[in-house]
Structure 1
Amino acid sequence: MTSTGDVAVASAVPVFFLSDSTGISAETMGNAMLIQFPDLVFDRQLIPFITTAEHARRVVATLDEAMDGPVTPLVFTTTVNAEIRDILHRTRAPVIDFFDMHMGRVEEVLGRPGAHVTAKLHGVGDVKRYNSRMAAIEYAIEHDDGQSLRALDRADVILLAPSRCGKTPTTMYLALQHGLNVANYPLVPEDLDSTDLPRPVKDLRDRCFGILSTPARLSQVRQERRPNSTYASMEQCTYELRRAEAMFRTHRIPAINSSAMSVEEMSTVILQGLHGARTDKTKVGR
Structure 2
Amino acid sequence: MTTQQNIPARTVFIVSDGTGITAEALARSVLSQFNLSYSRVHIPFVDTIEKVRHAREQIQNEYRQTGLLPIVFSTLVIPELVCILREARALHLDVIQTFVDPLKKELGISPKQEIGLSHQNMESEEYKNRIEAINFTLAHDDGQSNRNLDEADVILVGVSRSGKTPTSLYLAMQYGLKVANYPLIPEDFERGRLPSSLESYKNKLFGLTIQPERLAEVRNERRPNSRYASLENCRYEVFEAEGMMNLEGIPYLSSTSKSIEEISTAILSDMRAFSSPAQEKPSPKI
Shared topology, TM-score over 0.5? Answer: yes
C-alpha distance in 1 between matches for 2:7 and 2:103: 39
* Counterpart mapping for 1:1-286 below 5 A: 11-37=8-34, 39-68=35-64, 69=66, 71-124=68-121, 127-278=124-275
Map of 1:4 onto structure 2: none
C-alpha distance in 2 between matches for 1:228 and 1:173: 31
Counterpart amino acid of 2:41?
Q
C-alpha distance in 2 between matches for 1:105 and 1:194: 61
C-alpha distance in 2 between matches for 1:10 and 1:274: 44
Unpaired runs of 5+ residues, structure 2, are 280-286
Contact 2:15 2:23 in 1 (8 A): yes
Contact 2:12 2:70 in 1 (8 A): yes
The alpha-carbon distance between structure 1 residues 104 and 189, as it changes in their structure 2 partners (threshold 3 A), is same
Once the 2 structures are TM-superposed, how far is the Cα of residue 108 of structure 1 from its aligned partner? 2.9
Identity, in percent, stands at 40
C-alpha distance in 1 between matches for 2:212 and 2:112: 53
Unpaired runs of 5+ residues, structure 1, are 1-7
C-alpha distance in 2 between matches for 1:44 and 1:123: 27
Once the 2 structures are TM-superposed, how far is the Cα of residue 192 of structure 1 from its aligned partner? 1.8
C-alpha distance in 2 between matches for 1:130 and 1:59: 31
Once the 2 structures are TM-superposed, how far is the Cα of residue 10 of structure 1 from its aligned partner? 5.4
Contact 2:162 2:255 in 1 (8 A): yes
Moved over 6 A (4+): none
C-alpha distance in 2 between matches for 1:9 and 1:225: 37
Contact 1:12 1:71 in 2 (8 A): no
Counterpart amino acid of 2:54?
R
Counterpart amino acid of 2:136?
Y
Once the 2 structures are TM-superposed, how far is the Cα of residue 12 of structure 1 from its aligned partner? 2.7
Counterpart amino acid of 1:77?
S
Contact 2:122 2:128 in 1 (8 A): no
The alpha-carbon distance between structure 1 residues 246 and 70, as it changes in their structure 2 partners (threshold 3 A), is farther
Once the 2 structures are TM-superposed, how far is the Cα of residue 57 of structure 1 from its aligned partner? 1.1
Contact 1:20 1:81 in 2 (8 A): no
Q: TM-score scaled by structure 1? A: 0.91
Contact 1:155 1:183 in 2 (8 A): yes
C-alpha distance in 1 between matches for 2:86 and 2:147: 53
